[in-house]
Amino acid sequence: MDPSVTHLLAQVRTLGEELSSAQGEGTGNEKRRTELRKAVSKLSLALEEPGDVLERVTMQVEIASFLEVVSIKIGINLGLFEILVKSEKPRSLPELAEETGADPVLLGRILRSLASVGAVEETATECYAPTTVSRTMVVPKLAAGVEHWFVYSQYLRVYAHLDALMKTQLMVFVDLSFTYLSPVWHYLPKYLEETHYQNPSDSIHTAFNLVYRTAKPCFRYIMEHHAWKDPFQVYMSGFDEGRANWMDFFPVEEKLGNGAHTDGILFVDVGGGFGHEAVALKKRYPKLPGKLIIQDLPQTVKELHLEGVEVMEHDFLKPQTIKGARVYYFRNVLHDWSDDICRTILTETRRVMDPSYSKVLINQWVVPARDATRLMTGQDLNMMAVLGAIERTEKQWYELLESSGLRIENIWRPDDDVSECLIEVAVKE
């Protein structure tokens, strides 16, 4: 173990014991408490791996931190904190949904987000109690700080209405996500209030659409604005840095190679972007039998040339044309879409599958029903605000796939809580 980690562990232990044994609330105790918080923070930083650093300085700063305040604002608006603080026992999700009038699916997402930042406590799955944050938010003069932040940060929304030239100039100075995402996140509490706390599921009626005054889906809007398009594509190309690849924990040769047809199609990367996954599979397992194909929209793949991988123009919202492939692979695709649209995509895929031979592999987060990370819940709120979509729990994945005529054979999980799982799926008998 790193000596600095050993030293910090000892320091945390000592400070914790001193604070625990001390009496009263004097200046000495306050000093110990402050020192303990600093030591814990240093220990957390010392334990980081490169992937943790990337997740903290990009995703947590850009998404999770901003959306922490957003989720607390939604909690205030719903009266969640008052309900929990006044209650003599933990409250279940159905009880809270009935009392607030919010859609249970939406409320579950909000409560998972609040739990991930310590604003409520999960005493059991879908069961909640108040915390120090909850109690703080029922004190008017303290909760006013959140209200002040929302008023003060209204300036963020002006980015949405600047002319194209000014937007291009601002891109030089303003971080990409704070150029086009922050105004949307900021508007989310009001959007949910205006839609009577129904779970968003329409990709063209989102907080994003209202802020930017467009009827176009987010991705299409971004692709038509060049000041955003290039930085967005660069950002997405580095999205996997520091994360485990599915091939690190999935038995590829056993599950894909054994029994594969030599003259058939082994791997179809649906919505595969620039083909990184197919190329990586070919490089790591060059002797796997069959063809590898990457599919995406014409504007994405028209100039794409990959060694050992075929490139095909295809819109996954239309019928799949490749029949009987060994694997239909979806990476970070389905979290962009509502259940209804995902059901269409998956049903069309099932239609061309050979039930005794084909698999679907979904490389996506499986959000824990309890103790979800701040990163996952922040990204879930981001998908809600921007796309009317969702990061799904295990239960939600089972429900979606079952309703599409498919069944989960296994969920393969990485050792960390940052990397995506791999959901192994077959045709339902």
Question: Catalytic positions, please?
Answer: 335
Q: Do strands 310-313 and 291-296 pair parallel, antiparallel, or not at all (unpaired)?
A: parallel
Q: Do strands 359-364 and 327-331 pair parallel, antiparallel, or not at all (unpaired)?
A: parallel
8 A C-beta contact, residue 92 and residue 55:
no
What span, in angstroms and rounded, lies between the C-alpha atoms of 55 and 216?
30
Tokens of 169: 């100039």
Quote the DSSP letter at residue 71: H
What span, in angstroms and rounded, lies between the C-alpha atoms of 3 and 301?
49
Q: What is the 3-state secondary structure (H, E, C) of 163-174?
A: CHHHHHHHCCCC
What's the distance, CA 50 to chain centroid? 19
What span, in angstroms and rounded, lies between the C-alpha atoms of 39 and 9?
9
8 A C-beta contact, residue 108 and residue 126:
yes
Within 10 A of 102 (CB to CB), how many other CB atoms are there? 23
